[in-house]
Amino acid sequence: MKRYLAPCLATALALCAVPAIAQQKATITGVPEIPVTSVPNFLKVPAGEYLGESVAVATNSRGHIFVYHRAAPTSKLWEFDQNGNFLKEIGKGYYGFEFSHSVRVDPQDNIWTVDEGTNMVTKFSPEGKVLMVLGRRPPAIGGAVATRTGPNPPAEKYIFCRPTDVGWDPQGNIFVSDGYCNNRIVKYDPNGRFLAQAGSEKPGKGLGEFNLPHGMQVDGKGNVWVADRTNFRYQVLDNNLKPIREITNLGVGWTICISPGPHQYVFHSNSNPNGNVPGSWDITGEIYKTELDGTVLGKFGKPGKNPPNFQVVHMMDCRNPNEIIVGEIESWRVQKLILKQQTAKAASAQ
């Protein structure tokens, strides 16, 4: 197997969420900068309302923007139109919402949420009707769930442990990254029946093993791309979840986005860590744009409190690869970034 280096609940969960993630500088050099600007006042939130930690963003085929954010008393899923005007809240009071982590929109414009607090992945219709649920929220009758110590129990087919992301292949099979305490990728058929998994409840460093798979997407060939955060890398698996290669020189591996269409691009976030620990702004925060073959085309973004800089990019939408929407934890905001034409050549593959 070849190894490629691509060139060029809520409060308790927050407190026990993986130790401050170590920051790691990307080792790739010579990557051209992509000029970028931020659209001012992009989202218009309802009067008297506020965005919380904007950990999850996605768009549908009409350009509507979905923001699944951590707010009081629980997480909220908001829909905005293509101009950033608020349309509606989806799933208000829903049992599967507690501590948001991801939102994605499938090719049929169904909206999928991944909730780290309830261990549930939910499929909503475009109108907001619940169509499918994967996983189960720990029932309140069992009492408060204590912070886990010691080894994780064996991973189960239909029970998650702090899942992080969801994606689909061209055949409609469902893939879930699971997550903070399990360290695996799970494949289900379009009806939600378990098919396979890579990794397990045990963290690992080998190919096909994970240590906090924090983001995940599937390309047009059915290959599964995983942001293997605590291993400071990305992994690419085939459709049967067998490892193809790893990418180890783009930094931490915080989240990933793959644009649709016949020519797909991959965006990788080497985000500055939670808390913006001293020194982290100097070596992290950038987003890399690559081809599917690993060729790095450019990078953009730096840590900072004012747009177009970032404070912890937790998730990206890249439906239009020249207009990237990013959700930030630390700044509690969503930015729409316009990528301008590059003047420098892309880095060559190694």
Residue 271 inside a domain? The answer is yes
pLDDT at site 106? 98
2 contacts: CB under 8 Å, gap ≥ 6: 245
Residue 144 inside a domain? The answer is no
Highest mean pLDDT (candidates 71-75, 121-125, 144-148)? 121-125
pLDDT at site 2? 41
Which CATH number belongs to the domain containing residue 212 in this structure?
Answer: 2.120.10.30
3-state secondary structure at position 231 = helix
β-partners of residue 337 are 38, 324
pLDDT at 146 over 70: no
- Of 84-98, 102-116, 193-207, 269-283, minimum mean pLDDT range: 269-283
Residue 263 inside a domain? The answer is yes
Residue 349 inside a domain? The answer is no
CB atoms within 10 A of CB 24: 18
Residue 16 inside a domain? The answer is no
Reported as a pLDDT band with limits 50, 70 and 90, residue 151 is: confident
Residue 145 inside a domain? The answer is no
Token pair listed for 340:
């301008």
Range of the domain at 222: 25-137+151-339
The string of DSSP codes covering 6-25 is ----HHHHHHHSSSSPPP--
pLDDT at 149 over 70: yes
Give me the sign of the Cα torsion angle 12, 16, 17, 21.
positive
- Nearest 5°: the CA angle 300, 305, 306 is 70
β-partners of residue 296 are 290
Q: Which residue has the tokens 């924090």?
A: 214
Number of domains the chain contains? 1
Token pair listed for 349:
């593959």
Reported as a pLDDT band with limits 50, 70 and 90, residue 88 is: very high
pLDDT at 142 over 80: no
More confident residue, 192 or 152: 192
pLDDT at site 140? 82
- Tell me: the pLDDT tens digits for 25-66? 999 999 999 999 999 999 999 999 999 999 999 999 999 999
Token pair listed for 260:
């649709």
The string of DSSP codes covering 25-66 is ------PPBPPEEE-TT--BPPTT----EEEEEEE-TT--EE
Residue 171 inside a domain? The answer is yes
Taking every pair of Cα atoms in the chain, the longest distance, rounded to a whole number of angstroms, is 60
Q: Please, how many CA atoms are within 13 Å of residue 307, restricted to the half-sphere of its CB? A: 18
Q: How far apart are CA 240 and CA 212, in angstroms?
A: 20
Q: How far apart are CA 213 and CA 234, in angstroms?
A: 9
pLDDT at site 152? 85
More confident residue, 100 or 1: 100
Instruction: Express as a percent the part of the chain with pLDDT over 70.
Output: 90
- Tell me: the pLDDT tens digits for 239-292? 999 999 999 999 999 999 999 999 999 999 999 998 888 889 999 999 999 999
pLDDT at site 344? 60
Number of separate helices (H) and strands (E) present in the chain:
1, 24
Model pTM greater than 0.75?
Answer: yes
Residue 250 inside a domain? The answer is yes
CB atoms within 10 A of CB 140: 8
